[in-house]
Amino acid sequence: MQAPDFSLSGKTALITGSTQGLGFEIAKAYAASGARVIINGRSEARVMRALRGIKEGGGRAEPLVHDVGDLAEQAQVFEQLCSRSGAPDILVNNVGVRLRKSLGESSAEEIQALIHIDLIAAMHLSKLAAQRMAQDGLAGRIITLTSIADRVARPGDAIYAVAKHGLAGLVKALAVEYGPAGITSNGIAPGTFATESNVQLAGDPVQGPRVLGRNPLERWAQPHEIAGAAVFLASPSASYVNGHILVVDGGFSIAF
């Protein structure tokens, strides 16, 4: 009987926005599973700090200091990465920003900025990665961090929900377009994780308890709890999983 294979040995994984939060947890999990990870971020200091954290844990890692929202430079930077390190076998679209504002309170510039970073940048990088994976004959994996906001919405968080719904569409579009090349596209929809970006929400005297009350597990997720889903979708054991979004939210999105 063949056991499930969750090893990422011999693979190279580019994780955008991987200097902290869920991106860093995914990078650590991939490195522990045998992959060489590309740590990405805009700040060289933060990238190098994350890089040291991976290496101190016995993992292999390389830096990529780059703002993925800079589309004018993105193709050149990606090609330089491929020339230096080889095409990534795994791309994780993790970069994202949030603006907790209603649509009515949001300016045109704020709307465009969030959609650009959360959706357009990921779409552009996914295109570059998928094309290179196909060119090199890689059985590539593209994994996109969406959110439970990719299927629901709430007042005061309009633009984020629109962007995440778009990313859910991107997961499916990539799956059908690049599936014939042996490249899979899947998503992870995290719920309420206790990351740096959620500190304010967790501490809110009204919203904090409301989040806990909605969740059947009655707690926030710890950042490392994203690791299993991320490793699975990148591993040989997920070879026939394509176009799927794996929800990791403790049951939050099914409770009412």
Is-contact 198 152, C-beta < 8 A? Answer: no
User: Looking at residue 142, what is its pLDDT?
Assistant: 98
Supply the pTM of this predicted model: 0.94
Burial string for 9-44 (b: 16+ CB within 10 Å, else e) reads: eebbbbbbbbbbbbbbbbbbbbbbbebbbbbbbeee
Q: How many CA atoms lie within 13 A of 142 on its CB side?
A: 33
Number of H helices, E strands in the chain: 9, 7
What CA–CA distance (Å, rounded) separates 96 from 146? 9
Closest-CA residue to 194 (of 63, 72, 20, 21): 21
Domain map (residue ranges) of the chain: 12-247
Class of the CATH domain delimited by 12-247: alpha beta
Q: Give catalytic residues, as residue numbers.
A: 160
User: Looking at residue 66, what is its pLDDT?
Assistant: 97
Q: What pLDDT tens digit does each residue of the chain (256 aa) get?
A: 778 899 999 999 999 999 999 999 999 999 999 999 999 999 999 999 999 999 999 999 999 999 999 999 999 999 999 999 899 999 999 998 888 777 888 899 999 999 999 999 999 999 999 999 999 999 999 999 999 988 887 788 888 999 999 999 999 999 999 999 999 999 999 998 988 777 777 777 777 788 788 899 998 999 999 999 999 999 999 999 999 999 999 999 998 7
> Residue 206: CB partners within 8 Å, gap ≥ 6?
none
Quick one: residue 182, left, alpha or beta (phi over 0 = left, psi -120 to 50 = alpha)?
left
Query: Angle at the Cα of 119 (from 232 to 117), degrees rounded to 5?
Result: 110
